[in-house]
Amino acid sequence: MIINMTVAIAAVNLKHVTGLNDFVELDEPLYALCYFWLMVNGPGRASLDHLIVRAFSASSPDRSVEAAALARPKEP
């Protein structure tokens, strides 16, 4: 969808933009920004940030120590 919004901006709307103020008032950059935010933060386990964290934590040798520290109950 980000690619579609970029094409829409470049092909149709960029012809009518005369400055930064006109560009900011377009809807398509806002949609592209929302799609990017959704790609990074939105869908939980299927999100890009979850995949990145999982990839980096898989290479961590003491992952069981971190999991045990997180599973430990808090002191009252």
Does residue 24 belong to any structural domain of this protein? yes
Per-residue model confidence (pLDDT) at position 50: 80
Domain that holds residue 14: 2-71
Instruction: Answer with the residue of higher pLDDT: 73 or 15.
Output: 15
Does residue 47 belong to any structural domain of this protein? yes
Long-range CB contacts (< 8 A, 24+ apart) of 24-30? 29/5
User: In the predicted model, is pLDDT for residue 20 greater than 80?
Assistant: yes
Q: How many domains does the chain have?
A: 1
Does residue 76 belong to any structural domain of this protein? no
Does residue 52 belong to any structural domain of this protein? yes
Beta strands in the chain (DSSP E): none
Vertex 19: Cα angle to 18 and 22 (nearest 5)? 85
CA distance 8 to 54: 34
pTM: 0.46
No. of H helices and E strands in the chain?
A: 5, 0
Closest-CA residue to 17 (of 29, 26, 30, 8) = 26
Per-residue model confidence (pLDDT) at position 7: 83
Does residue 44 belong to any structural domain of this protein? yes
36, two tokens? 């990017």
Express each pLDDT in 23-76 by its tens digit. 888 887 888 888 888 877 777 777 777 888 888 886 655 555 555 555 556 665
Does residue 53 belong to any structural domain of this protein? yes
Average confidence (pLDDT) over 7-36 = 82
